[in-house]
Amino acid sequence: MMIETTPHYAYYPRSYTDGKILEVTQRYRHLQKSDRCGKMGEVIRCPHCTSHSTVYHLAWSALTCDKCDNSVEKGDWLIQLGYEKGEWVDE
């Protein structure tokens, strides 16, 4: 069963966006020993294939990436810090 999703700019009138989309920059840094997960988990990124995963605890020393099947040490994973302000860019 395929679920079709709508782009995030579809919620605004076309005259408001003028055919542009909002590009948001995400910031990452390497996992540290003192990092903790919140109730909603943390988003981590594989350094080899840049795929994203959500983890709910950090009680591991290495994980195998779901996409590229590489075993990656804990300190090599990248953790998402937050979003920077986005800009409207042409499609």
Q: Are 78 and 30 in contact (CB under 8 A)?
A: yes
- For the chain, the domains span 26-90
Tell me if 77 sits within 8 A of 47, measured CB to CB.
yes
Alpha-carbon distance 53 to 30, whole Å? 14
The per-residue pLDDT for range 40-86, each reduced to its tens digit, is 898 899 989 888 889 999 999 999 998 999 999 999 999 888 766 66
Task: Identify the band that residue 20 occupies on the pLDDT scale cut at 50, 70 and 90.
Answer: low
- pLDDT confidence of residue 14: 47
d(CA 20, CA 22): 7
pTM: 0.65
**C-alpha span between 18 and 14 (Å, rounded):** 6
Residue 28 tokens read as: 């990452």
